[in-house]
Amino acid sequence: MIAVIQRVSESSVKIDGEIKGEIGAGLMVLLGIEEADNAEDITWLSKKIVNLRIFGDENGVMNKSLLDVDGDILLISQFTLHASTKKGNRPSYIKAAKPDTAIRLYESFIQQLESEMGKTIQTGEFGADMKVALVNDGPVTISIDSKNKV
């Protein structure tokens, strides 16, 4: 799994002109799922996201986690994170999970985050044409690949 995490002061996602999910301060997370991903990736990556110390403390040092600041998450599925651009100019998405696998893992990821956060996670809609808006706070943007955890 690949996650691109952006610290935001606000973020929202619209589908067909209607807001599907929105948050204030917190994290907007783009999540790419590949065929090789499993429950271990979900557990490791979700814990990493909610515990990342990327929020400012009283001295302005990035020393607090999402849990510490009681922030929210907007989670968006994005298969294009697994694009391979090694050959030619048209990206290949061969590593991205097929929809049946990806949907199951995406829903499990949402449940895991909700369990760890103790609140509802805002989301987009898997496979939909989404319009994502955000105000990146910092800016702070971090990319994490669960296959690089060791």
Name the catalytic one among 6, 55, 79, 112: 79
Annotated catalytic residue 111: no
Compute the average pLDDT of residues 77-94.
92
> Is the separation of the CB atoms in 93 and 82 below 8 Å?
yes
Cα(51)–Cα(66) distance, integer angstroms: 6
Cα(123)–Cα(11) distance, integer angstroms: 11
SS3 track for 57-91: CCCCCEEECHHHHCCEEEEEECHHHHCECCCCCCC
Annotated catalytic residue 80: yes
Does residue 2 register a pLDDT over 90?
yes
Does residue 53 register a pLDDT over 90?
yes
Domains in the chain, start-ordered, CATH in brackets?
Answer: 2-148 (3.50.80.10)
Cα(73)–Cα(124) distance, integer angstroms: 11
Q: What is the pLDDT of residue 150?
A: 72
- Would you tell me how many other CB atoms lie within 10 Å of the CB of residue 28? 27
Compute the average pLDDT of residues 55-78.
97
Average pLDDT of the chain, as a whole number? 96
Name the catalytic one among 6, 78, 112, 123: 78
Compute the average pLDDT of residues 113-127.
95
Q: What is the pLDDT of residue 11?
A: 98
Annotated catalytic residue 101: no
Name the catalytic one among 80, 111, 120, 141: 80
Q: What is the pLDDT of residue 149?
A: 80
Range of weakest confidence among 14-28, 36-50, 86-100:
86-100
Q: How far is CA 62 from CA 28, 92, 106, 149, in A?
A: 17, 36, 28, 21
For residue range 3-37, what is the model confidence (pLDDT) as tens digits?
Answer: 999 999 999 999 999 999 999 999 999 999 999 99
Does residue 106 register a pLDDT over 90?
yes
